[in-house]
Amino acid sequence: MSLKDKLQELKLVLNEAASIDFPGDPDFSPNTIRWSEHAAPRPGAVVNVATESDVQKTVQWAVKNNVKFVAQTGGHGWTITWNIGESDVIINLRRMNDISVNAKEGYAVIEGGALVHEVVEAAYREKVHVVVGNCNSVGACGAMLGGGFSRLQANYSMSIDNIISLRLVTAKGDIITVSQTENPELLWCLKGAGHNFGIVASAKVNAFPEINEGMHWESTMVFLPDHIEEITQTINDLDMGEGMSIHYAFTGLPPFGFPAVVLELWYAGTPAAAQKAFAPLFGLRPIHQESSPIPYNKINAALDRGQCKGGFKPTWSVALEKLDPKAARDLWKHFLHFRLRHPSSKNSVVMFECYAFGKVRQVPEKSASFPWRNLNFHICASLFYTDSAIDKDANAWGDKFRQILQEASGMRKNKVYVNYATGDESLEEIYGYDEDQLKRLRAQKAAWDPDGRFSHYHPIL
C-alpha cells in the first residue's frame, strides 16, 4: 500500500483543524522547509496535527504501519542524522502553539509547536519572563529538550531547569505526564537528551516577574579585525554576572557582506547597570557603537537576519571553558579564506556565544542529563550558500574550524552542546563522558523507545 493510501486511514481520525500535505501540494513546502536544507529530511508527507490527541493518533498510526516519522516545530535543527525519506512522514506541530500564562502562580503552559517569539510575546503581555531560546523562529520545545540556552539563563538558568512538568506522547502512543514525581528518571533524560524519548505535547514551566518592568538593554559594536586578540581576552576575563549575555561574531555586514567583527551585548536591567557590567568592553575602541534600552519582546530582533529558511547552512560547534586569543585570530583567517573562495557565502558566520553560566551551575549537576554546566563558551560556525557543489569545500572547512578550537583549548576531550552538534561526533562528545550518564540514557531509551522510533536527532544507541 502506498503512503498516501495508508494516510487515508489516519485522516479519518484526526481533528478537523489537522491536515495532511504531499509533495506538490501548495502547503507542502511551506510546512516542511527548514532553516538549512543541508542533509535535510525529504519526507513523503507532512501531517499537520492540531491537538495532543492528533499527535497520539499519528504516532499510533505510524507504529502500526511501520512508517518512520520525525516531529518538527521550528525546523531549525541542523543535524545530519535525519533518516527520513519518501516513505516517511514529518509530524508538524506548528498548529499546536497555544501559550497560557498564569502570572499570579508563576507558570506558563506552552504547547509543543510554539516558537520562541510566540512565547516571548505571550510572556511580555502578562509582564513575566519565561526562559526560552534567543532566536524568534526556533521551536521553544525543540531548543528546550537539549538544554535551552537563553539570555535569561543569566538570571534563571536554562530552559530545562525551569520545567515543572511535560505532557509526552511516547513511542507506544501513550500520553503521560513527566515531572519530579511522575516518571522522574525519564524527566532526567528529557532535560538534555529529550529529542530521543517522545513528542512533547505541552510543557508547564516557570514564569518569573519581569525585570526592570520589561525594559532591557542592548548594544552593537563593530570592530576592525586588529582588535581580535584584545576582544577575545577581555571577554575571557569578564565576570559574566546576572543579566549579561554576549554574541561575539565574525560575520558579513549588510548589504555587501563586508567581513567584520561584531559584538552584540544584552543586559536584563537598566542602562546604567549595563554600562557598569560591560565596562571593560567599552574601552576597546569600536569603529561603530550604538546602545539603547529595548522592550524585552523586541530583544531577539537583532538575530532575525540569520534565521531565514532555505539554502544550505552546514554548521559545526565546539564547547569550551575559555577562549584562546590566538585561536580566534586563526579562525578569522580561516573565515576570510572561505569568504574569498566563495564570495556568495556572505551571510556565513562564526559565532562565539558567551552566556552567563553562574545560575546554571547553581542547579545540581545530577538533576539533568545536560552534561556541560561547567563550560562557558559555545562557538558555532555556519556557512550559508545555495550551490551544493560547495559542500565538499564546506565540510573540509568545518573540520578545520573544529580542529583549530580543539587544539587550542587545552581540554583533553572534545565537547559539544547537543543542539549545536553536527551529527558526526561521538555520543560521549554530545552526551558526556561519565560512564553512568550514557548507561542511564540507554536504559531509559530501551524502556521507553525500544524500537528507536525517536532516533533522528543525535540518536542514543
| CA trace torsion 283, 270, 248, 76 (10° rounding) | -170
Considering only residues 368 through 397, tell me which ones interact with ligand FAD, judged by CB under 6 A.
none
Cis bond before residue 209 (omega within 30° of 0) = no
CB of 140 to ligand FAD, least distance (A): 8
Binding mask 73-92 for ligand FAD (x = CB under 6 A): xxxxxx--------------
C-alpha cell at 260: 567584520
Per the CB < 8 A criterion, the answer to whether 223 and 265 are in contact is: no
Would you say 278 or 384 has its CB closer to ligand FAD?
384
Judged by CB under 6 A, the stretch of 68-76, 214-222, 361-369, 421-429 that binds ligand FAD is 68-76
Cα 279 to chain centroid, rounded: 29
Would you say 196 or 409 has its CB closer to ligand FAD?
196
3-state secondary structure of 260: strand
Considering only residues 31 through 50, tell me which ones interact with ligand FAD, judged by CB under 6 A.
35
Element (H, E) at 221: strand 215-223
Q: Could you say which of 199, 207, 318, 319 contacts ligand FAD (CB under 6 A)?
A: 199
Would you say 43 or 147 has its CB closer to ligand FAD?
147
In terms of Cβ atoms closer than 10 Å to its own Cβ (0-12, 13-18, 19+), residue 315 is: buried
Cα 1 to chain centroid, rounded: 37
Rounded alpha-carbon distances, angstroms, from residue 4 to 41, 56, 82: 18, 19, 22
The Cα–Cα gap between 186 and 57 comes to 22
Judged by CB under 6 A, the stretch of 122-130, 139-147, 319-327, 436-444 that binds ligand FAD is 139-147
How many helices (H) and strands (E) are present in the chain, helices listed first? Answer: 15, 18
Would you say 144 or 221 has its CB closer to ligand FAD?
144
The Cα–Cα gap between 426 and 253 comes to 35
| CA trace torsion 9, 13, 16, 21 (10° rounding) | -30
Identity of the residue numbered 169: V
% helix / strand / coil in the chain, to the nearest 5? Answer: 35, 25, 40
Considering only residues 142 through 161, tell me which ones interact with ligand FAD, judged by CB under 6 A.
142-143, 145-149
CB of 390 to ligand FAD, least distance (A): 19
Judged by CB under 6 A, the stretch of 71-79, 170-178, 384-392, 441-449 that binds ligand FAD is 71-79
Would you say 35 or 61 has its CB closer to ligand FAD?
35
Q: Could you say which of 59, 67, 71, 235 contacts ligand FAD (CB under 6 A)?
A: 71
Binding mask 222-261 for ligand FAD (x = CB under 6 A): ----------------------------------------
Binding mask 290-329 for ligand FAD (x = CB under 6 A): ----------------xx----------------------
CB of 116 to ligand FAD, least distance (A): 7
C-alpha cell at 194: 529529550
- The site for ligand FAD (CB under 6 A) is made up of 35, 70-78, 93, 112, 133-135, 138-139, 141-143, 145-149, 195, 199-200, 306-307, 419, 456-457
